[in-house]
Amino acid sequence: MAHPILDLFPAGAAVDPDGTLTIAGCRVDDLARDFGTPAIVVDEASLRARAREYRDALTTRWPNARVVFASKAFPATAVQRVMVEEGLGLDVAGGGELLSALRAGVDPALIVMHGNAKTTEELRIAVEARIGLVVVDNEDDVDRLEQLVPPGVVQRVLVRIVPEVASSTHPHVQTGQVGSKFGLTAAAARILIARIEASPVLDMRGVHAHVGSQIMDPAELAAAVAPLAALGTFPVYDLGGGLGARYTYDDRPASVDEYVGALLAAAQEHLPADAELIIEPGRSMVNGSAFTLYTVTTVKRDARTFVAVDGGMGDNLEAAMYDQRYEAALAGRMHDEDAEDVVVVGRHCESGDVLVDPLRLPAARVGDLLAVPATGAYTHTMANNYNGYRRPPVVFVRDGEARAVIRRETWEDLFGRDA
């Protein structure tokens, strides 16, 4: 019988007769040999299929619409390039993500730029690149843009509002409630909209809202549509992102069709039929297409059994920051029977460096490969150098071939900025 964890891996996952996990025709022991561990492994075909699923679900039902990938979920140029090749735009939230998007070959007109604290430098890059939409979050954004946009040029903007929608997600990823650092309440938004409409260099295109991230119920996301409509009639309504992704056996996020259906039902009720709709999937776009491959470095059987791997919070902060639950399997021993309850911990000098607790595994041994599925979102994004950790590579696999689209950091890289 197939291991139940395969349902959490990309569609290209399978198990060889000897019990070794494979992905898109590549054995994980070969990946570990060729690229080392830890490594973030992406099933390129699954990533592309997800992009097409989102694109088709939206545009076949609301032709004047576009999907823009929220790059912050996985800001690798290669990932952005896949989205561009599949017909999506890109949402960026900083200068680095914007420059990466341009390197990926996106049409600047399909870039949406976010941020509650955009710097003058970032806005200058956006204006000079002639990006499609800057989402203004406050009056300071408008002040800077009016100084940066040259004569004869008009920058299109959206205004981000607080939709006053509560969401059932971790407090650190709630964004739609009153008191959020993002956006403006309706009263403040109306004042800023009037100012932009009078600006000679800014084009007030529409409004934007975001409720939060890792939200399983699409009704919570669709609830932001009516507050957007209440601000007036505009050419563009950006409905944000936020659909949850599956991490564990118990997670049951809405499907893309269910999510888009809920948004469009609200749009049909509240918005002009000819308006352009934008959605910004991030986590749910990329999370299921990737997993992280580790090597077990120590096994300590004492008051509890600790299985320690060669990564941890240096390549995955989700568990520590958001209490995110993961599952995992010994990737070279998929046929072995579970034998013990363990805690999977990382190598970093922090008690909070725990990847999975608890977890049922076969009796682990030093040198075993451990695979953690559903790590496509916010792992590469938040990777760091704590304890002198070298950030891992990102490896694309497809049709039995593997290639590093981001190499592992070297020891020299760690000191490249030292004076």
Catalytic residue, from 1, 349, 417, 418: name it.
Answer: 349
Q: 3-state DSSP: the chain helix, strand, coil percent, rounded to 5?
A: 30, 25, 45
- 281 annotated to a ligand binding site: yes
Q: Is 349 a catalytic residue?
A: yes
CA distances in angstroms from 237 to 160, 224, 276, 372, listed in the order given: 10, 11, 6, 37
Q: Are strands 329-330 and 394-398 parallel, antiparallel or unpaired?
A: unpaired
Do the Cβ atoms of 148 and 128 come closer than 8 Å? no
Do the Cβ atoms of 47 and 259 come closer than 8 Å? no
- 318 annotated to a ligand binding site: no
| Angle of CA points 278, 283, 287, to nearest 5° | 135
Do the Cβ atoms of 393 and 354 come closer than 8 Å? no
Query: Which residues have a Cβ under 8 Å from the Cβ of 419 and sit 6 or more positions away?
Result: none
- 311 annotated to a ligand binding site: no
- 378 annotated to a ligand binding site: yes
CA distances in angstroms from 294 to 17, 40, 75, 275, 308, listed in the order given: 21, 9, 22, 47, 10
- DSSP H stretches of helix in 60-185: 77-85, 95-103, 120-129, 139-148
| CA distance linking residue 258 with residue 235, whole number of Å | 25
Query: Which residues have a Cβ under 8 Å from the Cβ of 75 and sit 6 or more positions away?
Result: 96, 97, 100, 380, 381
Q: Tell which residue, 320, 312, 322, has the closest CA to residue 392.
A: 312
Question: 295: which strand partners?
Answer: 369
| CA distance linking residue 154 with residue 199, whole number of Å | 9
SS3 268: helix
Whose tokens are 């054995």? That residue is: 27
- 283 annotated to a ligand binding site: yes
- 350 annotated to a ligand binding site: yes
- 401 annotated to a ligand binding site: no
| Amino acid identity for residue 83 in this structure | M
CA distances in angstroms from 147 to 72, 119, 143, 153, 154, listed in the order given: 27, 13, 7, 12, 12
| CA distance linking residue 236 with residue 276, whole number of Å | 5
Give kind and range of the element (H or E) at residue 318: helix 318-322
Which residues are known catalytic residues? Answer: 349
Binding residues: 242, 280-283, 322, 350, 378
Annotated binding-site positions for substrate = 283, 322, 350, 378
